[in-house]
Structure 1
Amino acid sequence: MDSSVKLENAITMFSHQAMNNEMNATEKVYTGELQTPASSDDVDPKDDCTAQQDTSLNGRWKIKPTKHVSFPSGEKIVSGSAEPWNPWEAAASVTVEEIITSYKLSCKKLGVQPIYKLLTQLQEITEVHHRIKCLDLKGEKLDYETCEALEEIFKRIQFKLINLEWAKLDEDGASALFDIMEYYDSAVHLSISFNKHIGSRGWVAAAQLIRKSSSLQEFEACGIPLMEHTACFVAQGLKFNSHLRVLRLDNASLSGRPLMLLVSALNVNQTLQELYLADNNLNSVQDSMYLRELLQSNRTIRLLDLKNNCIFNTGLEDICEGLRKQKQGLKTLILWNNKLTHKGMSHLAAILPNLTCLETLNLGHNPLSNEGIHRLKEALIANRSVVRLGLASTAITCEGAIATAEFVVESARILRLDLRKNRIRTGGLMALTLALRLNRSLVRLDLDKEPKGETEEWLIETQKLLLVEIPKCCKRNSVLRQAKLEDEKDEAMKTEPSCNKRSNSLE
């Protein structure tokens, strides 16, 4: 027992001694070297390359001098500059034959067959100094290697329209092709409609193309379901875009959150002018609220196409609330086939007198009935901006045609009226003819060419005579309108020199 006690005491003393030695060494480091750093004059040049710590054989710490960085003063900081590489610098000197040869060599290198349709179109090009009208690759199979070979074309030729509809684009091919188009600024109008296998990476590249291309003004992606994550990519591209003017997303399954993401981006976007959202099954619950938000926030969209959706009367009420804010924005609203009835026309009638920018209103293929036209008549007369009105296939009869004729008589601005595919018989045609004899603005009235609903011979003959007189009245108005426009142009040219003289005298 004594020996074990002695051994334990010895271990304890040794541990205390080792701990004291370590603390003393540490104290010397913190009270010595770190408090009195070496001056810069004593630093060895080769020690400047590192600031690591090291230990000597006796266990003491040494701190190597820290690295010192200095910059030249003033204008000496930048010694020169270089302009970014211009991919079009040498393109003007290349001939069409050289482009075809380069494309074929690239295809051979990548192990793919040249696209015959593409070669045919290239052979018809006479010069490459300006944008070519169209590159049509509709229906062609465009995998990754085929798209890589197309770079030999896009690096030397730019196009107004590139048509890739039904082109069998896969994710790898789409990603590569859109990157190439973005880099070479290849298109003004691009259609990728009905390519359903673009994938996430393809949509990321498409969004980058939308965002960065300085020439792309029209983008079509119809018939491609936009899920939430892909809609997010497109929204990001639209949010920071400053050139796109037309966006077509028909039949893209946009109902719900994808539409919300699109609207949130367009609330920021200040360049888009035409938005096509047909056949998206947009509903009267959430989607109409998103559309209301869009109309309340965006002031640059001039055309909104909502045909073949499910807006209903309740959704139309939301849209009308958004239209109240459109003082200088939306000019064309297409509500064709949205299951609207005469009840929904009350919402339109409430805002039409106050709309000063809406010029085209298409309500076709909705069962408005005569009652709907009666509810709209006074509002249309009070409105002074609508010049094109679509009422085709709206289930109106002679009664509705007579109400429409009363609007035509009072309007001095209406240019076109569409009443096709309605049950308008002789009485309605007579009312429209009498209205046109008084009206001086309507230049086109669309009616069914064949007489309807009459069995007696004299009524059928009367309809035929009326259907001949109506176009004559429209033609008379067209001539008067053209003469008026020419007179206004002449007046503007006469007053312009006098204005210039006055401005020169003021100078």
Structure 2
Amino acid sequence: MIDVCEQASIGEAFECLRFYENECKKLGISAEQTIVKNLQDAISEGEQLMQITIKNKILSTKQVQSLSSLIAYDQNNGLTVIDLEGSLNEPQVEIILEAVLRSPSVEIMNIRNCKCISDRSCTILADGIIRGHTLRIIDISLNDITIQGLKKLGSAFRSERCGIQVLRMGQMTPSNSICGSIGYFGQEMRLNTSLLNLVLAENKLDETNAIEIAQEIQFTPQLAALDLRGNIIGDRGIIAIVKALQTNRTLLSIILWNNKITSVGVEVLVNALLTNRTLQHLDLGMNKIGKEGMKHIVRLVQGSQTITTLGLAGTEIQTEEIVSLSRALSHNTCLMRLDLRRNLQIGLKGLYELTRSLESNPSVQCVCLDAEAIIEKAPVGKNRVEVQKELQKIQIICAEHVDMFVVKNKQALEAYAEYKAERQDKKTVDQDG
């Protein structure tokens, strides 16, 4: 039997479908079948239209106009996600932004890879943010934005009514304009109180940009995640960010994948993290940190009480380093995920030590390895067979640890539920007495 709420949701989704088809008729176009399917799925599931997703599909201006009417339609109060990645041109972005900002419910908007977001579009978006719109997550990656546009957006983030929690601005093209503009954006958005996650991946940001970013870390104390993968901040950039971490005690995740960092930067970072009690996710993959850098990583694994995820993919780890890392791992009780992909020189001895450390440390639930490539790299014969066995053991042990974790959490939840029930019973008895 369909309850009243579900019946109402079906009715609202059906009204949206009818409204959209009528809008298309007015414009003399056929309804976009992806949108029709989104609506039909909502009807069949007895829900309101929650999401519109059209990816990498060229839309005509009239199709975008009919879609914008649907987004702003009054019956669409349940619409929370607009994902139009790679499907809009510059003027169409303006049309969609105006519709999204008229909607009372959209929280997530993806307009990445639309080539260019004009200054006017930035003004429209900034005005909506300043008014306190419901938007919480925005992805504008793979677009070219002028300095003026970035300054406009940055100033909106300074507004007390700004509610944006996640901002993705990776791979800004075609001129990577953000590289020369990050300072302008950052200066304008200082003192923002809502942003939790900032993605600036693959923007050719250098050490000067890293210094500017470090200042923003200091002035946005609630920031929890920073993604700088694929830039060139180097050791000097890391030193600046480390200084910022001394005052920022909320950052939980930092991704530094492929940033020209050497053992010098790793040493400074590790020294800071050994006294940091908040950072949980660290990714240093694809940085040539060398033997000296790995010595500092071993110190981090030995001493950190907070790091739960450590990324070391493609750091050219050799057998000697994996042995030292494995021995340190056996005494670490908080690390849950270790990424060692793209390291093919681990060797049989390294795998032996890794297996031994996992057997004595149930906290580690996932070790990422390029198993097939490691097996292929091993000498043909007994050695290769042993390598294959150790890799299988590692996989099995991690799976067992996951099962243990699930059971332990279930038991903890049950114990907590019993505790709450006992407290409630005692409270009831006290009231009766």
**Where on the TM-score scale, by shorter chain, does this alignment land: which range?**
0.7 to 0.9
Distance 1:151 1:326, change over 3 A: closer
Equivalent residue number for residue 84 of structure 1: none
Distance 1:470 1:205, change over 3 A: same
Equivalent residue number for residue 305 of structure 2: 384
Task: Give the Cα separation in 2 of the matches to 1:265 and 1:496.
Answer: 47
Q: Look at both structures and tell me which one has the larger radius of gyration over its CA atoms.
A: 1
Equivalent residue number for residue 291 of structure 2: 370
Equivalent residue number for residue 197 of structure 2: 274
| Alignment pair present for 1:316 and 2:238 | yes
Equivalent residue number for residue 300 of structure 1: 222
Equivalent residue number for residue 48 of structure 1: none
Task: Give the Cα separation in 2 of the matches to 1:116 and 1:482.
Answer: 42
Q: CA deviation at 1:278?
A: 0.3
- Is 2:202–2:231's contact at 8 Å kept on the other side of the alignment? yes
Distance 1:503 1:347, change over 3 A: farther
Q: CA deviation at 1:116?
A: 4.8
Normalising to structure 2: TM-score of the pair? Answer: 0.86
| Alignment pair present for 1:198 and 2:117 | yes
In structure 1, runs of 5+ residues without a counterpart are 1-90
- CA deviations on 1:106-134 (whole Å, 9 max, x unpaired) are 314xxx66545434544544189734233
Q: Which moved more, 1:145-154 or 1:457-466?
A: 145-154
Task: Give the Cα separation in 1 of the matches to 2:143 and 2:304.
Answer: 39
Equivalent residue number for residue 436 of structure 1: 358
Q: CA deviation at 1:483?
A: 2.2
SS at structure 2 position matched to 1:106: helix
Corresponding residue to 1:100 among 3, 15, 20: 20
Distance 1:129 1:482, change over 3 A: closer
| Alignment pair present for 1:232 and 2:156 | no
Q: In the alignment, residue 225 of structure 1 is paired with which amino acid?
A: D
- CA deviations on 1:373-425 (whole Å, 9 max, x unpaired) are 11221233211000111111101100110121022111011111111111111
- Is 1:162–1:190's contact at 8 Å kept on the other side of the alignment? yes
Task: Give the Cα separation in 2 of the matches to 1:495 and 1:113.
Answer: 60
- Is 2:68–2:95's contact at 8 Å kept on the other side of the alignment? no
| Alignment pair present for 1:215 and 2:215 | no
- Is 1:178–1:209's contact at 8 Å kept on the other side of the alignment? no
Count of residue correspondences: 410
Equivalent residue number for residue 103 of structure 2: 184
Task: Give the Cα separation in 2 of the matches to 1:161 and 1:459.
Answer: 52
Task: Give the Cα separation in 2 of the matches to 1:208 and 1:474.
Answer: 49
Task: Give the Cα separation in 2 of the matches to 1:137 and 1:389.
Answer: 32
Corresponding residue to 1:341 among 262, 266, 275: 262
Q: CA deviation at 1:226?
A: 2.3
- CA deviations on 1:323-342 (whole Å, 9 max, x unpaired) are 12232x11111000001111
| Alignment pair present for 1:354 and 2:275 | yes
Task: Give the Cα separation in 2 of the matches to 1:122 and 1:366.
Answer: 46
Q: In the alignment, residue 50 of structure 2 is paired with which amino acid?
A: I
Q: Which moved more, 1:251-260 or 1:269-278?
A: 251-260
SS at structure 1 position matched to 2:102: helix
- Is 1:220–1:249's contact at 8 Å kept on the other side of the alignment? yes
In structure 2, runs of 5+ residues without a counterpart are 1-10
- Is 2:308–2:334's contact at 8 Å kept on the other side of the alignment? yes
Q: In the alignment, residue 43 of structure 2 is paired with which amino acid?
A: T
Structure with the bigger RCO (C-alpha within 8 Å, sep 6+) is: 2
CA RMSD of aligned residues (A): 2.6
Q: CA deviation at 1:431?
A: 1.0
SS at structure 2 position matched to 1:361: strand
Q: CA deviation at 1:456?
A: 5.5
- CA deviations on 1:358-385 (whole Å, 9 max, x unpaired) are 1111111111122211122123321100
Q: CA deviation at 1:203?
A: 1.8
Corresponding residue to 1:170 among 86, 90, 102: 90
Q: In the alignment, residue 305 of structure 2 is paired with which amino acid?
A: R
- Is 1:254–1:282's contact at 8 Å kept on the other side of the alignment? no
Task: Give the Cα separation in 2 of the matches to 1:349 and 1:132.
Answer: 44
Corresponding residue to 1:130 among 45, 48, 53: 48
Q: In the alignment, residue 214 of structure 2 is paired with which amino acid?
A: R
Q: CA deviation at 1:97?
A: 5.2
Task: Give the Cα separation in 1 of the matches to 2:391 and 2:36.
Answer: 51
Task: Give the Cα separation in 1 of the matches to 2:195 and 2:23.
Answer: 35
- Is 2:139–2:168's contact at 8 Å kept on the other side of the alignment? yes
Distance 1:404 1:191, change over 3 A: same
Q: CA deviation at 1:196?
A: 2.6
Corresponding residue to 2:368 among 441, 446, 452: 446
Q: CA deviation at 1:216?
A: 1.6
